Amino acid sequence: MSRTGFTGEQRGRASELIRFIFSLPEFCSEPPLFSEHSIEKFISGLGAGYADLFRYNGWFEDMEPASIDRLLLGMLHSVTNEKVLPVIRGFIEEADFTLFDEFSGGSVPDEFRREKLYGFAETLLKLRTTRLRLNSAYTVIRYGIAERYLGEIMRKFPLVYESVASVNSRKLSPDESSLFFKTALILVNCRYLPDGQGYPASFPDIATECPRSINPDDYPEQNPPLAGDFIDILDMRFRNAGYYELPVKGCMSADASWFDTVRKPGIAGVNRQLAGIFYEIALERNW
C-alpha cells in the first residue's frame, strides 16, 4: 500500500480507467485541462452511480465512494499533469531567458529563471482556481500560436508589430517577442493567485511592463495595440475555447471564427483592432 493509502492494483485500475476516458473521441482532441474538467464533473457527479459502475470484476470493491473519488481525482490530475507539464517544461528548458535581464535590472543565471518559472507553473497547476487558466499558455506554447501571429503581423502590419513588440521602450525581435509573450502568458496567471503569491523572482511584472492601449475604439490610428493587448487576446482566446488542429467541414476555420466574433462590438476586454488583424490573418491562412 502506498503512502496515499491505495494499493498498487487500485492505482493501476484507476490509471487504466482515466487513460481510457482520455482516449475517447470526445476527449482525445480536446486540451487536457478541459478534458480533465469534464471527467472531474463526471466523477464528482457519480454519487450513487458508483455501485452500478463498478459492480463488475471486483473493481474498487470494499472501497467507500469518498475513497474512490479521492483515488480517481488524484489519478486524473496526475494523468493531466503528465500531458501538460512536458509541454511547459520543454519550452522552459529550451528558452534563453537572458532577454529578461534587461527588465529585471541585473544579470540572472538562466538556470535560476528556469527553476523559478517551472515552479510557478507547478504552483498554478496545484490550485483549483488557477489550474484551468493555464490552458491558454499551454495551447499557445504547444501549437506555436504566438510566433505564428507575430510573424504574420510583422509581415503584413509592420507598424502594429512595432507597437505590440515594444516592451518598456525596448523593441523585441521576432524570436524575442515570441519568447516574451509565451512567458508572459504563464506569468499573467498570477492575477488569479491569492495576493499574487509565488510570483517568480527575476521576471518582470507583466501588468506594469505590458500596458494596454487606451480607448482603442475611439482613435484606432492614434492608439495602436500594445503588448498587453496581445497577451490579453491570446489569453482570452484559449481560456474557455478549445483548439482545432484540422478544419471542420462546412465551418470557417477556428481562429477566424473566434476572432471574427470578438472583433464586433459588445465583447469587453478585447482590443477590437487587434482582433480584426488576427481575424484577417486567420482567414487568409485558414487557421
Partner 1 sequence: MRTQDTGGQAAVTAAVMLSAIAALCEYLFAVIIMPVQAVMGLALLSFVFDVVFTAVFISDAAEAARRHKIRSFMLHGRGIVDFCGSVPVLLFFSVPSVIIIASGTESAGVNFMKTMTFFWSSLCITGLLRVSRMTRLASLPLFSGSGMTERHITLICTVICGAAVTTGPVCGFIMRRAGAQYAHAAAGAIAAFMLFIILSAVIAIYSRHFGNTVSSVLDTLDKGFRRREFYLKVKLREEFRDDGIYRIAAFYNETYLPAKTKQNINSPEPAAYRVPEEEVKNFIRNR
What is the nearest approach in angstroms of partner 1 to the Cβ of residue 74? 18
Q: What single-letter amino acid sits at 9?
A: E
Shortest Å, Cβ 63 to partner 1? 14
Rounded to whole angstroms, the Cα distance separating 137 from 185 reads 5
Q: Within a 13 Å sphere around the CA of 61, how many CA atoms are in the beta-carbon half?
A: 5
* Cell 480536446, residue located: 30
Q: Quick check: helix, strand or coil at residue 170? A: strand
Nearer to partner 1, 204 or 229 (CB): 229
Cβ proximity to partner 1: between 30 and 110 the closer is 30
Q: Cell 475604439 belongs to which residue?
A: 217
Q: Is 45 exposed, middle or buried (0-12, 13-18, 19+ CB in 10 A)?
A: exposed
Smaller CB separation from partner 1, 104 or 257: 257
Taking CA atoms, 235 is separated from 75, 144, 145, 252, 259, in Å, by 28, 14, 11, 21, 13
Question: Which SS3 state, helix, strand or coil, does residue 166 take?
Answer: strand
Q: Cβ 260 to partner 1, closest distance in Å? A: 6
Between CA 231 and CA 181 the distance in angstroms is 7
Residues in touch with partner 1 (CB under 8 A): 13, 16-17, 20-21, 24, 26-27, 30, 34-35, 37-39, 41-42, 49, 52-54, 56-57, 59, 132, 135, 236, 239-242, 244, 248-252, 254, 256-258, 260-262, 264, 266-267, 269
Q: Judged by CB, which is closer to partner 1: 137, or 167?
A: 137
Q: Compute the least distance from the CB of residue 166 to partner 1, in Å.
A: 27
Is residue 121 within 8 A of residue 85, CB to CB? The reply is yes
Task: Decide if 202 contacts 116 (C-beta within 8 A).
Answer: yes
Asked if residues 200 and 117 have their Cβ atoms less than 8 Å apart, the reply is yes
**Of 66 and 268, which has the nearer Cβ to partner 1?**
268
CB of 161 to partner 1, least distance (A): 25
Q: What is the C-alpha separation between 50 and 114, in angstroms, rounded? A: 43
**CB nearer partner 1, residue 108 or residue 252:** 252
Q: Give the residues across from 171 on adjacent strands.
A: 166
Supply the minimum distance, in Å, between the C-beta of residue 22 and partner 1.
10
Closer residue to partner 1, CB minimum distance, 170 or 239 = 239
